[in-house]
Structure 1
């Protein structure tokens, strides 16, 4: 019997795998339903109502500015100290023009597929990556803790072959969950945009961009799943992976973030892993340092910036997978099975 098919069947039969996958899919469904009920389709009546509210807001601003200008002139004529409430020249107190008050501010939330869908792929990848990490860690961790790995190696003594087949079965199972979920995610938000927003201006380029972002999301899920599997194999227990990631997030990320902030390190977010995960999904994250001023020819002061790109993220994730998985393979080959 094929070891790969055996491991794939073992993965599918595990109740923990089924429950975690179902929980992840239910969370994704809850996100789609939540977005559906918190958005509305904009019609002509709502646009007209928003224009009226913008007009009303403009009129209120005009009345307020006139009252403040009169009060400023009275205070100036009376010689009353204003304690910085009014400017020296009362004529500068003017209301904003009508075109500065956008009617879009008064419209309800609406889901525009082309503008918004790209943002939804980040939580999609994050939720399934968490599921993959926990399932991957428990899949091999349970084998070590229950003694199943030792029994398996009596049947197939080639240690690396056993571990690679387990990993291949795990990644196949995650693909079997992630790819249909991605299709349903696209379809669900297309339905949201159809009934609660807009699907206009969708071009082949936009579809291609969404598809590439979705593929990067699938790759991120597989990478995180592999890391969870390798950590649990390295520590020979599920708790090794779960404890390691908790320690990394609490000590290595939050603690490091606080330390960098206290030390006033420039672009402190560049040292944090979530920044690279977001950059991988969105193609680029621009960090800003407001302590540094770059003046331009117009006298405008802009903060210094640092771009984190998806290429840099890919290098970091590749090195991480190679190091952690390589350590797990080395430990599997060198240590005694007991």
Structure 2
């Protein structure tokens, strides 16, 4: 019997894999429903309602302005006005122009596919990466914890082959889960935009950009699954991966962020892992440092900036993945199985 097919069957039949995958899909479905409910399609009636709201707000502002002007004139005539309450010349109190109150401010939220869908790909990648990490850690961690790994090595004594076959089965399962989920994500948000937004200005370039972002999200999920798998294999327990992740994110990242902030380090976010994950998905993240403000010709503050690109993120992910997976393979080869 093929070891690869056996591992695929074992992965698919694990209750934890099924429930974790279902939980991830339910969270994604809840996000879609939330976006659908909180957005509306902008039609002629909605625009007219917004115009009326803007007109009413402008009239209220004009009325308040007239009252304030009258109070100013009265106070100046009585000699009781002060500079803190009224301007020196009451004629300076003028009603706002009509175009100062825009109808767009009173429009309900609407989902514009071209403008908003890029941000909607971030929670998809995050949920898939979380599911991949936890399932990957549990898949091999449970084998070590229950003694299944030792029994399997009696049947197939090639340690690295067994571990890499398990990893291949895990990554295949993640692809089987992530690809349909991504396709459904695209379709769901296209439906949201059609019913409660618009799908205008969608070009082949926009589709290609979204597709590449979705592909990078899939790669991130596979990397997370591999890291969870490798950490659990290193510690020979699922808790090793989960505890390590909590330590890195809570102690390492939050604690490091506080320490860097207290030390006044420039571009402190450049030392945090979420910045690189976001740069991988968005292609670039621009960090700003207002403490190093440069005044331009017009007297405006231009903060110093630092760009984190997806290429830098890819190097970091490749190095981290190589080190962690390499350590797991090395320990699998060198340590006793007991």
TM superposition score category, shorter chain reference: over 0.9
Change in 2 beyond 3 A, CA 1:16/1:299: same
- The match for 2:141 is 141
- The match for 1:308 is 308
**Unmatched 5+ residue regions in structure 1?**
none
Equivalent position SS for 1:200: coil
User: How many residues are treated as equivalent by the alignment?
Assistant: 337
Equivalent position SS for 2:222: helix
Deviation at 1:184, TM superposition (A): 0.5
- The match for 2:166 is 166
Equivalent position SS for 1:201: coil
Kindly provide the CA deviation profile for residues 208-230 of structure 1, in whole angstroms up to 9, marking residues without a partner as x: 11101110110111011111001
Change in 2 beyond 3 A, CA 1:143/1:71: same
Kindly provide the CA deviation profile for residues 42-94 of structure 1, in whole angstroms up to 9, marking residues without a partner as x: 11011011011112222222233343344445555625445x44455555544
Kindly provide the CA deviation profile for residues 114-159 of structure 1, in whole angstroms up to 9, marking residues without a partner as x: 1111111000010111111100000000011111111111111111
- The match for 2:211 is 211
- Structure 2 distance, partners of 1:284, 1:205, is 18
Equivalent position SS for 1:307: strand
- Structure 2 distance, partners of 1:74, 1:139, is 80
Kindly provide the CA deviation profile for residues 227-269 of structure 1, in whole angstroms up to 9, marking residues without a partner as x: 1001100111000000011111111111111111222222111
- The match for 2:230 is 230
Deviation at 1:95, TM superposition (A): 4.1
Deviation at 1:161, TM superposition (A): 0.8
- What is the TM-score of this pair, normalised by structure 2? 0.95
**Aligned pairs (5 A) from 1:102-141:** 102-141=102-141
- The match for 1:270 is 270
Farther-moved stretch of structure 1 (59-68 vs 183-192): 59-68
- The match for 1:186 is 186
Deviation at 1:97, TM superposition (A): 2.7
- The match for 2:202 is 202
- What is the TM-score of this pair, normalised by structure 1? 0.95
Task: Tell me, yes or no, if the aligned pair for 2:72 and 2:81 is still in contact at 8 Å.
Answer: no
Task: Tell me, yes or no, if the aligned pair for 2:50 and 2:104 is still in contact at 8 Å.
Answer: yes
Equivalent position SS for 1:292: strand
Change in 2 beyond 3 A, CA 1:212/1:42: same
- The match for 1:157 is 157
- The match for 1:67 is 67
- Structure 2 distance, partners of 1:75, 1:174, is 74
Are 1:22 and 2:22 counterparts? yes
- Structure 1 distance, partners of 2:185, 2:113, is 12
Are 1:6 and 2:6 counterparts? yes
Deviation at 1:327, TM superposition (A): 0.9
Farther-moved stretch of structure 1 (255-264 vs 139-148): 255-264
Change in 2 beyond 3 A, CA 1:74/1:301: farther
